[in-house]
Structures are given as structure tokens and as C-alpha cells.
Structure 1
Amino acid sequence: MPETAASPAEAPAQRMLLVHAHPDDESIGQGATMAKYVAEGRGVTLVTCTAGEMGEILVPELEHLAADREDGLGEHRRGELAAAMAALGVTDHRFLGGFGRYRDSGMQWHEAGHAIAADTIHDNAFWHADLTEAATLLVEVLREVRPQVVVTYDEFGGYGHPDHIQAHRVAMYAVQLAAVPSYRRDLGEAWDVPKVYWGAMSESRLREGLRRLRAAGDTTTFEGMDPDGPLPHFVTKDEDLTAAVDAMDFVDAKMAALAAHATQITTDGPFFALSNNVGSEAWGVEFYRLAKGTPGPAGPDGLETDLFAGL
């Protein structure tokens, strides 16, 4: 359930809902956009599908929380998420079906460089969730919030994590079901989300950032990535991008949110290194692909500058 949520009569006129797999995914992908829209008085709702129980723990004194020890990481990351949302100003953040309904599925790395499902998966893992059941839980939220914009991952979940892929499937199916008047009338009046976006990383922007890092003598940040060579699966060709939200005034809020996810992200890791070496433009402009709806007016570079453009 949300920490706090406005009643329908008090809801902002423009509303965005994001569907993410684990705590920290939202801050990495859209933290600056979220902070910007909150500051502009727009509604921002975050739905997180798991508590990230299987995440790697980067804080040595908290290693006892690991899944194969005390298994307390999910509850701890619940607090990290609350702190991150406070940094971004987001007051409506929920876990799909309530905290603990679905468990982090875990992952392993394939030799091709992308994530795949782990060999052993918990019975309650999100990857094993019934698609209609999980989507219906999200339908209820969609019909309550009635967002004009929904943001989630692409069909590969960015880099192949099974929970990211499942979040994509659940979000896309829920958007369809929520628009059907005769589907689960008990969950509220039908709502057809006008625009759905998939979060993206600009290929040209990442290559330029890598070039500047290497020119500055930094060979460890995103080690192994060649500015002129093959890039990871989460990178999107610029020709496939639809929108670029300039939220550079909110980079500090984004970095504070990332820092709040201390078990997953270190302040001397690649996210902070890129920000320190390349500057606010590294994380202050966030990119999107339009998956549903009609593009609105574009800026000089041919990209929308606002996810609500045209609405």
C-alpha cells in the first residue's frame, strides 16, 4: 500500500505510474524524471513488484541479511526504497499485491553477457507468478490512479533479468485489461492508459560519456566497455528513442536516491563515478521509447521533451 496517497478529488491533473521489479531500479532508470515531475506538481506513483530479497549485498556489515543466511534483505530494502522516495519527493509508492506478495527471483549471468533465471528459484518468485493474477493486481492500481503515462521496461527487461521481463509483461497486460469495461468491474471503472513508455539508455549518450571517462584516464568505470565497440543489451539505438526528459536540475535528488539504496549501489561505483567525471548530463537526461500512444510535439532533436506531450 502507498505510504500516503491523494484522494481522487485531490489527485494531480497529470499522473505517471512506473512499474519496476526491485527497489533501486526506479532510481537508476527514472529517478531524475520522477523528482522533476513531483516538483512540477504532477502525480508520480511507483509500483515495485518484489522487495529485492535476492540482491547482492555491498555493505559488509549487512551480509547477514543475505537470502542464504537470515533472509532479511527484503525488509531492509523496503526501508531503502522509502528513503529513496523521500529523496525524490514521491509519496505514493506500493508493492504489487502488498509487501511480500512476490519474491525476487534472483538471476545469473549468461556467457553472452546478459542475465538469465537462476538455477534454483523460490516457489513464490515473481518469475513464476501467474500473469493474469499479477496483472489484475496492477489493474486495480491503474483504475484507481488513472495515469496518463505508464513507464516500465522493454520486452527484454533491459538486460534480461527475469523479474524485469516479468514486470514488462505484467505492466503491458495490465494496461490492456484495465481498458476493458467488462473485465473485473469490481476493480473500478475502466481506464485506457493513453501513453506507455519503456525506459531506455541512449547509445550516443553512453558512448560520449565513455569517451570522456577514458580521456580523463578512468579505465575502471564500466570496465570492459569500449566507446567505439559493442555495448550491453540495455543500450538503445538513438533512432528508436521517442523522448528525452531533461531533468538536470534534479540530478542531486537522483544521486541521493541512489545513495539510499546502499546495499545495492556504492558511492564509489560506476553510477557516481560517471556523474563525478562526466557531470550532471550523464544522469540528468533520461530517455524513453514510446510503446503505446501517439508521440506529442518534439523538440529540436526530434524527441519529445515531456512524457505528457500531446495529451
Structure 2
Amino acid sequence: MQSAGPRTLLAVHAHPGDESTATGGMLAHYARQGVRTVVVTCTNGEFDDAPSGAVPGEVGHHPKAVAAHRRAELQAACDALGISDLELLGYHDSGHTGEVPEGGFCTIPVETAAGRLAALIEHYQPQVVVTHYSSHRDHMHVIRVAKLAVYRTGIPVKLYLTAKDGSTTIDISEVADEKRKALQCHASQQVHGAFALQEHYFRALDTTNAPLPETDLFAGVTTHGPDLPR
């Protein structure tokens, strides 16, 4: 399918850290190829642990300070992955369980958040959009928001969700060091251990008719513009 502009991939995630744990290898893989990689992070991560290890509700956990720390970790991780552009929507983290705080992301109307994401899609013109699937209430909301924004704009020709065993497999062995460095940037999350050298995705939307299974998120996409210099 023909598309104007350079190859562009937009990944939309709920919290700081999701970009590295869920899609870090894929993002580094395409960044290394010269693809314009855009990360959209919807919340500030206020309900993550504090750098001291304090959890929400404990003495020493200050949500605003945690959010500022998480944003700094996010920027460092994006630098490690070679991300071209980082966009912060600034919504409040809803937390895993319990009462949702006022303004929590999962309480924001889908139309409202999708409108903001649609504006970014119109600005960056991505051919491919990727989002993170899990049962976390903010992640489920991200999927609803991303789907509406993609369909509303009609610009992306492919939409993917992260998956344990999906229609598309990306080999990240050559960028394992970049993903490892990105994970280390999120020190407050205490992410340790080995990770798989493949990342899997489920293709939720496709207008290219590219055959499945596939090993390239851009399979079936032909662009007119040159990739970014690397």
C-alpha cells in the first residue's frame, strides 16, 4: 500500500515504563532502521513505587514527586531506545486496583482522549500504530482510545496490540542491549532478569492485505519519503 512521508511508527502506552517492557525491542529495532518512532505516554505514573521503594499510601510516597521521577526515567529510556519523538498526555495514573483518583485516565471519556491522540496521528502521519494489551484498567482504556483515534483519522494502515503469541513476530536479538539499557533506566520499577529475544503482536487492523504470519510491522507498506538518517 502506498503511503506518503517517511516510515513512521507510533506506540501509545498507559504508563512510563510500558514502552520499554512491552515494546522496547521493537521500538529499538525500527529506530535503528531509520523509522521515525513516536512514543505517546498517557499517564504520569503517579501510582508507581517511589524511588525509596515506598508504595502508594505509605509514608514517603508523594505522587507528584513520583510522577516527575517517572517522567525523567521515561525520557532516559526513550533516549536509550533511539526514540525520535516523545509525547506526554499527562493524565493521572488510575492505579491497578481500588478507588480511581479524580481525573484517573480510565475515567476520561474515550472521545476526549481519542481526540488528543487523533491530533498527534494527524501531526505525525504514522502508517503503523502499536498499543499495549493487558488487563490493567489503564491499558484497556488505551486500547479503546487508540482504536477510536485510528479509525477516526483513517491515517494508519495497520494497528497492532502486544501479544504473547500473535500474528507478527519481531526478532529483537540485534537490539537486546538497547532494550536492556532502557529497562535499566526505569530503576524505580526494579525490572530485572532476562527477556525473550522476540516480541509478538496481534494485527488488529490492516488495509495492506499483507499475508500472515509476518515478521515486519511495515509489511505491505510502501512509502515515498526517505527514512531518518541513522
Give the shorter-chain TM-score range: 0.7 to 0.9
Query: Which residue number corresponds to residue 70 of structure 1?
Result: 62
The answer to which structure has the higher strand fraction is: 2
- Whether the 8 Å CA contact 1:295–1:304 is kept in 2: the answer is no
SS at match of 2:6: coil
Query: Which residue number corresponds to residue 54 of structure 1?
Result: 47
CA deviation after TM superposition for structure 1 residue 122, in Å: 1.0
Which residue of 246, 264, 275 corresponds with 2:189? 264
CA deviation after TM superposition for structure 1 residue 32, in Å: 0.8
Aligned: 1:248 with 2:161: no
Query: Which residue number corresponds to residue 158 of structure 2?
Result: 195
Query: Which residue number corresponds to residue 224 of structure 2?
Result: none
The 3 A distance-change label for structure 1 pair 138 and 67 is: farther
Q: Show CA shifts across 1:100-146 (max 9, x none).
A: 3x1000013xxxxxxxxx2x211110011011111000010000111
Scaled by the length of structure 1, the TM-score of the pair is: 0.65
Who wins on radius of gyration, i.e. which is larger?
Answer: 1
- Whether the 8 Å CA contact 2:94–2:101 is kept in 1: the answer is yes
Scaled by the length of structure 2, the TM-score of the pair is: 0.87
Which residue of 78, 81, 96 corresponds with 1:107? 96
Q: Provide the rounded CA distance (Å) in 2 between the counterparts of 1:67 and 1:73.
A: 12
Query: Which residue number corresponds to residue 26 of structure 1?
Result: 19
Residue identity matched to 2:164 = M
Which residue of 105, 129, 138 corresponds with 2:108? 129
Provide runs of 4+ in structure 1 moved above 6 Å: none
SS at match of 1:283: coil
Of 165-174 and 289-298, the range deviating more from structure 2:
289-298
**How many residues are paired up?**
214
Q: Which runs of 5+ in 1 are unaligned?
A: 1-10, 109-117, 180-191, 203-240, 276-281
Higher relative contact order (CA 8 A, sep 6+): 2
Cα RMSD over matched residues? 1.9
Query: Which residue number corresponds to residue 175 of structure 1?
Result: 150
CA deviation after TM superposition for structure 1 residue 51, in Å: 1.1
Residue identity matched to 2:215 = T
Identity of aligned residues (%): 36
Query: Which residue number corresponds to residue 86 of structure 1?
Result: 79
Q: Provide the rounded CA distance (Å) in 1 between the counterparts of 2:126 and 2:157.
A: 8
Residue identity matched to 1:106 = G
